[in-house]
Structure 1
Amino acid sequence: MDFISIDFEIANKNLNSACSLGLVFVKNNTIIDQQYFLIKPPVLDLDEEFTKIHGITANELENAPSFAEVWDRISHYFHQGNLIIAHNARFDMSILKNCLMAYSLKEPEFQYVCSIPISTRACRGEGIGKSLAARTNRFGIVIDHHHNALSDARAVAELVIKCVQIKSRKSIQSYINTYSSIPVKSFAELKPQTIFGKKRRKFNRVSINDIKPINHEFNENHPFFRKNLVFTGELQSIDRKEAMQKAVNVGALVKSGVSKKTDYLIVGEQDKSLVGKDGLSTKEKKAFYLIEEGESIKIIDEGQFLKLLESLVTN
């Protein structure tokens, strides 16, 4: 395979809400196959503005497979031997990584490239926009149904093939070798976006490595002793760093992300402009998914956390 071009569409601002995926396979500078999937997001919450763009409705997704089911069918394509290409690749790679995290799926190791710098090398010096529509129009490539995932993935493939041909290269690999400034990135090293559009409000981030217990003797009967705790949202009556410190002081283990090993998820107030209409953070959605899969994660609010924390006093 020369490369595989991909494109996702999402249901709402959360980048784990993939609702469709297109893949186009290229070998010897020729499109040899293509695949298209509708995907039911973890939470079936379609933003009207997004539906206006891609035209996918909740009714179409109701009986669609989950991302985990789709991934089971396509995961074998994502490995070091196949180069993955997308337009504005960080966005699509972020969707992929968020979806993998939402279903606790193992992340593959592969390299990806963005078609923006690829096409820039073929039209250097021309003042054209970076959008897929602008770049394909420059080379006379027609997008049949813009914002249909398969149509866009095919347009990306045709754009890359055209660039390789214009510069008289044998393949995208030799093209990238010629223009060594084109970034080839590792999916494993990607720090993904989680929200589309408006950036998340910046909180005073707490480094878990800085939270150390002030003592080394603990009440082994405490409900948090040797339990894995994860926090999400903004606590109202106590600073998160202070809450974490109090937790480790009774023998808890504070973690940054939800996993099968999580014992308690402590939920504070969520900013709905960031997490969406359902008010659930990515950590909450992952916890609910794992609970449905049989994991014994306890989801508690700030009041329940403080009450359990103070149980040390009575023991």
Structure 2
Amino acid sequence: MTGITNEMVAGMPSIMDVKDAVLSFIGSDIIVGHNTSFDMRFLNAGFNQELSNQYMDTMQFARKLYPDLKHHRLSDMTEYLGLSNNEHRSIADCISTKELYDAEKALMAEKGLKIEDLWSYGGGQSHRIDISSIVPVEEANADGFFDGRHVVFTGKLEKMIRKDAMQLVVNLGGVLDNTVNKKTNYLILGNNDYNAILHGEKSSKHKKAEQLKLEGQDIEIIDEFTFYDILKDEGAL
């Protein structure tokens, strides 16, 4: 997928070998990346600890600022905006992401947009749904990604009505809950909550999930667009 072969990384240090150096490098800085939540999950898993750094995601902003583009991968954005060539290598990715970050800031300044202008709240969507009324359309997929796993939603989804998203989870064998508890396996974070995270704020469900994960519970926090990627992989979208 990346073009990186086993031979290219033979003899290279493991992630635990560089853990201290990486943590020292990032310190308490805000992390900027493209599809950052995806990378953060790998770092958390590799380091066997939860990073507390706030982060922002140029992909999330790209989706808001360039809604007419079909895809918003880093390679798509660098090609569309004529930025430095993205080679899916560490330094090249950093340069491309920094240039995209600058381009997004410049476009927002040009249009007089603030972050809160991109992430509007409300929209008339009720978040309280009778989850007992959501049953599999057909026999639940016993091999589905969410089979037997307890799933909770928080925040307003940007591209899907929450009830429809819940239906797809149930069709894939998932069990819906209203609140995060000791049974919860996945918390799906509505993209609408992203603006609050930028200001260091998190929903009570989000905070509860992070606390349970620190205590060793098998629970993962999934952002909205990762959720859609899962649904696509499962053939549900």
Superposition TM-score tier, normalisation by shorter sequence: 0.3 to 0.5
Q: Greater strand percent: which structure?
A: 1
- Relative contact order, CA 8 A, sep 6+: which one is greater? 1
User: So what's the TM-score if we normalise by structure 1?
Assistant: 0.33
User: So what's the TM-score if we normalise by structure 2?
Assistant: 0.43
